[in-house]
Structures are given as C-alpha cells and as structure tokens.
Amino acid sequence: MTGATRATSQGPERVEGRAKVTGTAPYAFEYPVTDPLYLHPLRAGIARGRIASIDTAAAERVDGVHTVLTHHNADALNPVGDPELAVLQSDGIDFRGQLVGAVVAETPEIAAHAAGLVDIRYERLPHDSEFRDDANIVYTPDADASPMLSPDLERGDVDTALAEATHTVDVTYTTPPEHHNPIEPHAVIATWDDDGLTLHDSNQGSHLVRDLLAPLVGLDKERISVIAPHVGGAFGSKGMPHGHVALTVLAARRTAGRPVKCALSRTQMFELVGYRPPTRQRVRLGADSDGRLTATEHDSLEQTSRFKQYAEQSASASREMYASPNRRVTNRLAALDVPAPTWMRAPGEASGMYALESAVDELAVRSGIDPIDLRLRNEPEVAPVSGLPFSSRNLVACLRQGAERFGWHERDPRPGTRREGDWFVGTGVAAASFPSLLFPGSLATIRHESDGKYRVEIGAADIGTGARTALTQLAAEGLEVPFEAVELRLGSTEQPNAGLAGGSAGTASWGSTVVDAVRAFRAEHGSDPGEGVETTAGAAGNPDLGKYAMNAYGAQFAEVRVHADTGEVRVPRMLGVFAAGRIVNPRTAHSQFLGGMTMGISMALHEHSVVDERFGHVVNHDLAGYHIASNADVGSIEVSWVDEHDPHVNPVGAKGIGEVGIVGTAAAVGNAAHHATGVRVRELPLTPDKFLR
C-alpha cells in the first residue's frame, strides 16, 4: 500500500468526500430524469472512405426503438471549427470508430441490440495509421494556429558545439499512445424542451461546453445549461466536448422533450475522446569535461490526425530546463487516419521530459558525474531562451532535499551490480517542471446569506482534484470567516463564467478570481454586509505576467527492481519533492502529487494503446488489455514539497500541482531500471520482455 507522509495530510477534508463515498454525489449519468431514452452510438468499421449505404429498417422495427439517426436524417449543425463536433454531417469517414449514427431506444439493451441490426456498407479508401518518420505524412505545424506550440528554436551553433563536446549523447526515445481512462466514463444526458437545452455532462468546464454548443446548434447561450458538479476524473479527456455530446444533442432534438442518456463504453473511449499521441524524440546533448551542457538538441515527432490537428510540444521541455549556450528544439507532426489526440495530464511535458531526463541520465553515466550533481551544474540563472528571471525556481532545493530523504549519497553509481535474491536493484532520479498558467476571464459571485454565512459561486470544475475544497478555503480566508461558513457552488453554467479545469491552472485561475471577488465584495459591502447582498467580480490582471518565467518544479526518485530471470519490473519505492508555490490544501495537494506519480509509474511500466495499422484501431481497447498500474504495482510513494513563496505568479501564490507529479516519473523509473540492470530501454513502457537476457 501507499505510504503517505503524515505531515502532509493536513488541511480540510474534501467538502464532497462524504457524499462521494456514500454514493450520494450524482455523476452525469445518474441524474434522476423523467422518462429517459437511451442512445447507443454507431461507429465506423473502416478507417477511411465513405458510407455507401446504411440500412436502418431492421433496427427501426425493434420494439422500443424510438429513432435511428444517421447522416441522412440528422439535423444540420453549424461549423464551429472543431471537426469532432460535426457528427453525422456527411457520409465521410476519417477514422475507425467515428460516429456514424445512433440508435435511441427505451432501454440501453434495446438500443444496443438494435444497433447491431443496422447494416452499413462502405466505400473504402486506403488509410494510413502507422506512426513513423516518413516525409509523406510529416509536416511542421503552424505555431500561430496552435496555442500549445512554440515555433522551432535555434540558438547558437549546435552542430559545432556537439562536435567539440567532451561528452555527447545522441539517443532516440519513443512513447506510445496512451488513453486517459478516468474512472467515470464519458456520459451525458441531454434534454431539449421548451426551456431550451439542458445537459448533465461529465466535463472539465461547463461554460466551455456551452460556449461551443450554442453556435453548433444555433441556440442562444442563455437557453443552454450545462451541469457537472461531480466529475469522476478526466485527465484532459473531458476538456473539450467530444462527438458523443453533439450526437446526444442531435438525438434530444428528436424526442419531444424526453431526456436522452448516453454513456460511452470503455472500448468507445478508445476511439472517441482523445489520447496522448505517440512520440519519437531524438535528444542530442553535448557537455564539457565538467558536465556543463554546451549543446542541447531535442527533436520531437508526434502523431496527429488528418481530420483534426492536435499539436502539443514535447520537445519544448528542453527550451528552459537547463542552461546551454547552443540549443535547437523542433516539433513535427505526423498526420494519420486516426482519432484526434488531445491533452492528457501534462501534455507535452510528460512525454518530453521523459526523453530529456532520460538523456540527462545517459549523459551522467557517460561522463561519470552523479546525475543530481550534473543537474545542479546546469542550473540556469535566468530562463535560458526568454532571458526572463524566474518568479521562483527551486529545483535545486527539490533535488537536494530529495537526495537527503531518499538516501542518495549511499548510491553506488555502477549499473547492474546490486542483487537481492532474484532481483536486480537500482535507483534513479529525474527532474520535473510544469508551467504555472493562469486562464483569465473567470468570475465569482460572493453573497452574504445571513448570520455570517456566505455563498460563493463560480462555474469552475472539480474533476476530483479537490478544487471545491481549496476554493472554499480561499474564500473563507479572504472573508475571514470559518471554513464551514462558506458554501461553494461550482460545476455548472448556473454559476458565473469560469475557465476550464486544465493546465493545472484551477487553483491559480479560479482561486485568484475568488480572492479578488472577495476583496471586491468587502470593498462594496464592508465587513458587516446586509443579508442577501452580493458582488460578482473577476480577477484583477497580474502585472507580473510576461515579466517572469513561471514554472513549478520537482525531483522524482525511484527504486526499481528487475527480476533476473523473468525481466519483471517493480517499483517498491518512490519519492517526489516538489516546489509549487503556496500549497493551499496539503491534504488534497498530497493526493494530486500522489496521483500524478502513480500515473507516472503506470506510464513507465504499463500504458500502451496498441494500434493495429491494418484496421487503424486500438486492439487492446478495454481495461483487461490496456494495463493501468494495479495496487500491487505501486509500492511506497512519499510526497513532500519545499516551502516556496512566490509573490509573482498570482494573488494566491499557488503554482499548478495537478500535472507536475506525472512529469519525470517515467524517466526516474527508467533511469533506475538502467541502474539496476545496465539495460537502457528507450521505448516505453518498460515491459518484462525488454529486460530479458
């Protein structure tokens, strides 16, 4: 079982914890609605082409079937720039599993049975679903059109520096596609009646869902409400509404006000709600005899889909991490006939830092310099590319404190030399960094109910992170009232506009909004407000934005055992030390770091969506085939953080913590596996066959 450090388990318990564990907190699919219908999606059986014919007669004859929707009878949707939402608008097929229709029936069983009776004939076109470095599919994404992407970077003369370096590393790493698999599958209930459209939807931002759907279906925003007070995990897969939401809305338009319920199956989630794209990353490092980097090159190739570009920047991990006078960073995309990738916990950083931090370890081995020492020697004074000062950067403290706690100084650097019984034993380290983001535009309403009780409303999302609890704390703190005196409502468009739960920016963005709204409330109503008075306000801008480089940091330590006969890999012990500004709620923050590291172990050892290029689909598309770390795979995980006061990041002083925990974990595990065995695996995940000898 996982060992938590007691000291970090303080802080208010989750406000909704009791409701969740007693099963009374409703998730999207569980809302009591009257007389619902159930939707079963129809999915394309080919990866590219068009539907030649679709025969729904047999399905329509089944007792209890209400409607069968196809591109022939679906209503027109307005283009909103997201091809995933343009469901049933043509006969074209862009990826296997694409939504091509829906059966709506009185029970889920009838809908599923009838769906099996729909006869779809295709006109196939040749498809290409094989991720590879091939000029036919590779292109340079337009950085202006991709908010998550910086353009290629070239500083100094990398090639000369590499040629002249004392120590060099030139290595290529690959990471596979991974699927988020939150515990709550994607689900939505759509009701379209005289009042407009109501969605109970599992999402990371109800306002964003509304903002996209309103133009899509041509309804005024005011006539749409989206409700999601409890969300059972998301990891990015619920950041944008996916096709099933549009499909369910199309169906709800046909049912004369009867709600339509749709819950995706695990298998459908491997086709319809995004994934972390596979990458191939070449890292070249050059260092002088002291281990100081003279050249850093990171070239990343990532998969996208042909019908919808998704670009994240794995190579950008190498832009600001270490000092290096010469630097080249490039990001390329390979476009294929596959579902569209999307954000997945630390998009870019998780894959990119795996490659960079593994390469740094290889440089340490090559140069004979301790991997922690090597990192300390390459610590930049200011952000290397922008030249901006860091708002705060405590990577050094994380590494030092971690080394102390983990017992790093006792480490014998020689790989493959320690054995306990049948197991080779090793330890590894990796650094982590994640940008501290802030999404502007959120509003909060502060209302004095009576007797010193306050209600705070903000249309934010708690996807299991503890956001509701942290925001309650910040409001109580600002109002100078007890925690219990604040009732915080979030998750719905009934509350004022708030941005997405993403980019680890929740506490920063919504927290700043709550803090500033509380100030505005006090300014307007004073310290003894009347009953029922309220103020709605947003966050004042941050004057330090653009003046500082703002990132959270961390150091990940792992002990790894590899079985000498079978190659099985175990991670009995991990330690993560983080520097993430103010930790608002140690209890929930601890869970976030722990969860990130656990997911990192899973990424290191297991997660791999295996694509069969002949069909263009993920073959292991269920939780028996797609492995996520089980309890037995997770040993002791210790989490701690350094004291960090950052006056620049935002009024709360908090940096994001939801994602930095997964960054670097896989590298630490891989580095430890190398230390244990002497075998360097450069291809995730670290399955037993790769260590067999």
Among 420, 451, 528, 689, binds other proteins (CB under 8 A): 689
> Near other proteins by CB under 8 A, which window of 133-141, 238-246, 608-616, 652-660?
608-616
User: Left if phi > 0, otherwise alpha if psi is -120 to 50, otherwise beta: which for 239?
Assistant: alpha
Of 66-74, 109-117, 329-337, 411-419, the window that binds other proteins (rule: CB under 8 A) is: 109-117
Q: Looking at beta carbons, which pairs linking 473-476 to residues 24 or more positions away fall under 8 Å?
A: 473/11, 473/12, 473/584, 473/585, 474/507, 474/511, 474/514, 474/515, 474/584, 474/652, 475/446, 475/514, 475/518
Q: How far apart are CA 681 and CA 235, in angstroms?
A: 27
- How near is the Cβ of 262 to other proteins at its closest, in Å? 17
Q: Which range, of 128-136, 153-161, 250-258, 627-635, touches other proteins by CB under 8 A?
A: 627-635
Q: Which of 20, 522, 627, 680 binds other proteins (CB under 8 A)?
A: 627
> 473 vs 598, which CB is nearer to other proteins?
598
Which positions ≥6 away from 207 have C-beta within 8 Å?
226, 459, 493, 497, 498, 499
Q: Would you say the C-alpha torsion 109, 113, 114, 118 has a positive or negative sign? A: positive
Rounded Cα distance, 502 and 658, in Å: 9
Candidates 213-221, 604-612, 648-656, 675-683: pick the segment binding other proteins (CB under 8 A). Answer: 604-612
How far is 155 from 392, CA to CA, in rounded Å? 24
> Cβ 129 to other proteins, closest distance in Å?
13
d(CA 617, CA 271): 8
**DSSP states of 34-45:** SS-EEEEEEE-S
Which listed residue (81, 543, 631, 645) binds other proteins by CB under 8 A? 631
Instruction: Tell the smallest beta-carbon distance from residue 254 to other proteins (Å).
Output: 24
Q: Please pick, from the candidates 109, 164, 373, 381, the single residue that binds other proteins as defined by CB under 8 A.
A: 109
3-state SS assignment for residue 585: coil
Per-residue buried b or exposed e for 379-391, using 16+ beta carbons within 10 Å of the residue's own CB: ebeebbbeeeebb
Q: Does 127 bind other proteins (CB under 8 A)?
A: no
| Binding status of residue 567 toward other proteins by CB under 8 A | yes
In angstroms, the CA 199 to CA 309 distance is 27
In whole angstroms, the minimum distance from the beta carbon of 601 to other proteins comes to: 10
- Least distance to other proteins, CB of residue 178, Å: 15
Answer for which of 112, 138, 153, 376 binds other proteins (CB under 8 A) is 112
- Between 524 and 622, name the residue whose CB sits nearer to other proteins: 622
CA distance 401 to 408: 10
Nearer to other proteins, 21 or 692 (CB): 692
Among 435, 500, 513, smallest CA distance to 474 is for: 513
Which of the stretches 106-114, 139-147, 379-387, 427-435 binds other proteins when contact is defined by CB under 8 A? Answer: 106-114
153: enclosing H helix or E strand: strand 153-155
Q: By CB under 8 A, which span of 22-30, 449-457, 470-478, 628-636 interacts with other proteins?
A: 628-636
Binding segment (CB under 8 A) for other proteins, from list 185-193, 225-233, 308-316, 565-573:
565-573
Total number of residues binding other proteins (CB under 8 A)? Answer: 35
Nearer to other proteins, 62 or 485 (CB): 62
In angstroms, give the least distance from the CB of 633 to other proteins: 5
The SS3 call for residue 623 is coil
- Half-sphere CA count of 76, side-chain side, radius 13 A: 2
Q: Which of 2, 166, 174, 620 binds other proteins (CB under 8 A)?
A: 620
- For residues 161 and 326, the answer to whether their CB atoms sit within 8 Å is yes
Residue 262, beta-bridge partner list: 188
38 Cα distance to chain centroid: 29
From the list 521, 514, 544, the residue with the least C-alpha distance to 443 is 514
Residue 375 CB-density burial (10 A; 0-12 exposed, 13-18 middle, 19+ buried): buried
Residue with Cβ nearer other proteins (81 or 421)? 421
- Is residue 127 classed exposed, middle or buried when 0-12, 13-18 and 19+ CB atoms within 10 A define those classes? buried
Interface residue with other proteins among 164, 610, 643, 647 (CB under 8 A) is: 610
Nearer to other proteins, 82 or 633 (CB): 633
The nearer residue to other proteins, 79 or 116, going by C-beta atoms, is 116
Contacting other proteins within 380-439 (CB under 8 A): 422
Pairing of strands 99-105, 65-70: antiparallel
| 7 binding other proteins? (CB under 8 A) | no
119 binds other proteins (CB under 8 A): no
Catalytic residue among 184, 312, 320, 659: 659
Q: Which is nearer to other proteins, 192 or 691 (CB)?
A: 691
633 binds other proteins (CB under 8 A): yes
Longest Cα–Cα distance of the chain, Å, equals: 78
Q: Which of 116, 257, 413, 441 binds other proteins (CB under 8 A)?
A: 116
Query: Nearest to residue 555, comparing CAs of 406, 398, 669?
Result: 398
Q: Is residue 659 annotated as a catalytic residue, yes or no?
A: yes
| 52 vs 623 by CB, closer to other proteins | 623
- Residue with Cβ nearer other proteins (386 or 566): 566
In the set 31, 82, 485, 615, which binds other proteins (CB under 8 A)?
Answer: 615
| Binds other proteins by CB under 8 A, chosen from 541, 619, 643, 647 | 619
72 binds other proteins per the rule CB under 8 A? no
629 in contact with other proteins (CB under 8 A): yes
Q: With binding defined as CB under 8 A, does residue 266 bind other proteins?
A: no
Question: Which residue from 261, 282, 606, 674 is in contact with other proteins, where contact means CB under 8 A?
Answer: 606
45 binds other proteins (CB under 8 A): yes
* Residue (of 112, 198, 154) closest to 494 by Cα position: 198
CA distance 360 to 626: 30
Query: CB-wise, 263 or 432, nearer to other proteins?
Result: 263
Residue 86's SS3 state is coil
Q: Which residues are catalytic?
A: 659
Q: Name the site residues for other proteins (rule: CB under 8 A).
A: 45, 109, 112-113, 116, 422, 565-568, 570, 605-606, 610, 612, 614-615, 617, 619-622, 624-625, 627, 629-633, 687-689, 692-693
